[in-house]
Amino acid sequence: MTDTDIASRTASPTRRSVVAAVAGAAALLPLAGPRHARAAGAGDAAGAPVFAHGVASGDPLPDGVLLWTRVTPSPEATPGSGLGAPVEVRWEVAEDRGFTSVAASGSVTATAAADHTVKADVRGLRPATAYFYRFTAGGAHSPTGRTRTAPADGTTADRVRFGVVSCAHYESGYFTAYRHLAARTDLDAVLHLGDYIYEYGRGGFPMKDGIVREMRPAHETVTLSDYRQRHAHYKADPDLQALHAAHPLIAIWDDHETANDAWSGGAENHTPETEGDWAARTGAARRAYFEWMPVRPSAEGTVHRRLRFGDLADLHLLDLRSFRDRQAGLGSGDVDDPDRTITGRAQLDWLKSSLAASGARWHLVGTSVMISPMAFGSVPAHLLGPLADLLGVPREGLALNTDQWDGYTDDRRELLTHLRDRGIGNTVFLTGDIHMAFANDVPVRAAAYPLQRPVATEFVVTSVTSDNLDDFLRVPPHTVSSVAEAAVRAANRHTRWVDMDSHGYGVLDVTAERAQMDYYALSDKTDPDAASRHVRSYRTRSGTQRVERAEEPVR
């Protein structure tokens, strides 16, 4: 990928109140969870195509946005079937929900080759503006979505605000975090930091509450048809449909979009003898991802790219699975090997160059795994085992999680030293993956903190549904975990806060003066009507490279 901004490239076309039922649509949909109405696109003609998987937008630019939907042209054209005739699909973007003032329109063709998904990369829109959009095929209208363009280059927006999510395992609970974010009207976009889907088969992921709802396909996803079906099953969820219809999505992948602990040549959850060639599997997973997600691929066909939000913030998005070397063994000195990489040489050079050249006030970096050094050696023995299972750290208490940047220390040192030596301030890493929430200062050398000032900060969001410490221990939340949290803070002085039990989401609010993450938790991930409450807020003030507690969430 060159330093050319994503705005210079064009991609090819390829809950409850936001959807309406159509006769016969239920037969076209994968199994939905209890108490959730099956969702489908509105139609006004018998036998017309169905928009059963909702609509979505993503990757907002100052003058445009990427639109997405899938058409079900006939009952046999189920996701992954490879069946169904081509369908001409018209799209419209308007300034009003009634579509009386259409700003842009066009058409794309839905074909079996792309699983009848379509994308429209719309340009010519006004910056920092909310728009409504819809698709039409065979006399049937899709649900109406709302999206928003980014602020223009050369302008300083008062603020940008993102919902931030990660790790949504379907069988583990309901996507109520998405519903709460969909209900907000103050977001510019939602940032998904990976594990949008999970590849496991039925019961393949450890769950305290057992299987809360069934997932399709029931087996592990390996083939193109499998991954398409899994994406389709996720997008039949009403809460996820509501999220997509309410806000543009900005997404990167982590491992479970393909297989657990993936690296460039394989994965922990991939057995060539029974599951075939890794390249074929990852190729299938990526093809389905770009078909089913409102994401523009990079020039290399991955998800690393940059989006700009005026002069206030640049958002650098990383792909930490495609180019990395295999994870080092636990306790191995290979973690310090300069020839091993998590980013790949070209991506690291791109990131360094892009950070150095950016004129934005804030440099946001979407990274799917934690960059802050993390030691767990002082965690009591009865907690270390569950933490090891959750985080991938050695049960002996060694200070390593080799799937994170801790397993690729030379890349981390090079990047953090670059920030220090080039005087690049206001860098904020936004992270998912580990089903916990953290607020961290990021030092070049953890052993020298706090005598040496940090060079960045990191906000880690917890999971939407995927199990965390209390789930693994099968205890009430915020009981036993308090011991582990205190031990982690004691061993890692740069960790200002950690929550090992909550499930939920974050809201990142960025102004010229500060970047603040508000953390929200769900009352019960197994309750489709779960409430959401504010837990904590942390911010970093401009020029400080340190996090501090904020008493109130942004309003």
Q: Give the pLDDT confidence of 541-554 residue by residue, as tens digits.
A: 999 999 999 999 99
Q: How confident is the model at residue 484 (pLDDT cuts 50, 70, 90)?
A: confident
Judge whether 40 lies within some domain: no
Q: How confident is the model at residue 201 (pLDDT cuts 50, 70, 90)?
A: very high
Q: How confident is the model at residue 448 (pLDDT cuts 50, 70, 90)?
A: confident
pLDDT of residue 394: 43
- Whether 29 shows a pLDDT value over 50: the answer reads no
Judge whether 179 lies within some domain: yes
Q: What is the C-alpha separation between 5 and 9, in angstroms, rounded?
A: 8
Judge whether 174 lies within some domain: yes
CATH number, domain containing residue 270: 3.60.21.70
How many structural domains does the chain have?
Answer: 1
Mean pLDDT to the nearest integer, 301-318: 97
Question: What is the per-residue burial (b if ≥16 Cβ within 10 Å, else e) of 441-474?
Answer: bbbbebeebeeeebbbbbbbbbbbbbbbbbbbbe
pLDDT of residue 473: 84
For 22, 50, 69, 525, the CA distances from 140, given in Å and listed in that order, are 10, 7, 13, 35
Domain that holds residue 258: 160-549
Give the amino acid at 326: R
- Whether 530 shows a pLDDT value over 60: the answer reads yes
**Which residue has better confidence, 475 or 54?**
54
Judge whether 138 lies within some domain: no
* Percentage of the chain modeled with pLDDT above 70: 87
Mean pLDDT to the nearest integer, 279-308: 97
**Which residue has better confidence, 507 or 27?**
507
DSSP string, 272-333: HHHH--HHHHHHHHHHHHHHHS-----TTSSS-EEEEETTTEEEEE---SSSPPPPPPTT-G
| 76 in Cβ contact with 66 (< 8 Å) | no
For 363, 469, 471, 479, the CA distances from 475, given in Å and listed in that order, are 39, 9, 7, 7
**Residue written as tokens 């792309």?**
114
Q: How confident is the model at residue 381 (pLDDT cuts 50, 70, 90)?
A: low
Mean pLDDT to the nearest integer, 488-517: 96
Judge whether 54 lies within some domain: no
Judge whether 152 lies within some domain: no
pLDDT of residue 10: 32
- Whether 47 shows a pLDDT value over 90: the answer reads no
pLDDT of residue 531: 98
pLDDT of residue 204: 86
- Mean pLDDT for the chain? 89
> For residue range 314-371, what is the model confidence (pLDDT) as tens digits?
999 999 999 999 999 877 778 889 999 999 999 999 999 999 999 999 999 999 999 9
- Whether 33 shows a pLDDT value over 90: the answer reads no
> For residue range 389-432, what is the model confidence (pLDDT) as tens digits?
665 554 434 445 899 999 999 999 999 999 999 999 999 999 99
- Kindly give the residue spans of alpha helices, DSSP state H, lying in 73-222: 176-182
Judge whether 20 lies within some domain: no
> For residue range 240-270, what is the model confidence (pLDDT) as tens digits?
999 999 999 999 999 999 999 999 999 999 9
The two beta strands, 362-367 and 313-317, are parallel
pLDDT of residue 384: 58
107's CB contacts (< 8 A; 6+ apart) are 88, 89, 90, 91
Q: Cα 446–450–451 angle (5° rounding)?
A: 105
pLDDT of residue 15: 25
HEC string for 97-124: CCCCCEEEEEEEEECHHHCCEEEEEECC
Judge whether 261 lies within some domain: yes
**Residue written as tokens 């069946």?**
83
Q: What is the value of pTM for the model shown?
A: 0.90
Mean pLDDT to the nearest integer, 485-499: 92
> For residue range 122-171, what is the model confidence (pLDDT) as tens digits?
999 999 999 999 999 999 999 999 999 999 998 888 999 999 999 999 99
- Whether 496 shows a pLDDT value over 70: the answer reads yes
pLDDT of residue 19: 24
Q: What is the largest CA-CA distance in the chain?
A: 71
pLDDT of residue 329: 85
| 546 in Cβ contact with 449 (< 8 Å) | no
Q: Give the number of other CB atoms < 10 A from CB of residue 340.
A: 18
> For residue range 61-98, what is the model confidence (pLDDT) as tens digits?
999 999 999 999 999 999 999 999 999 999 999 999 99
Q: Where are the beta strands (DSSP E) in 62-180?
A: 64-70, 87-94, 102-110, 117-122, 130-137, 140-141, 145-148, 160-165
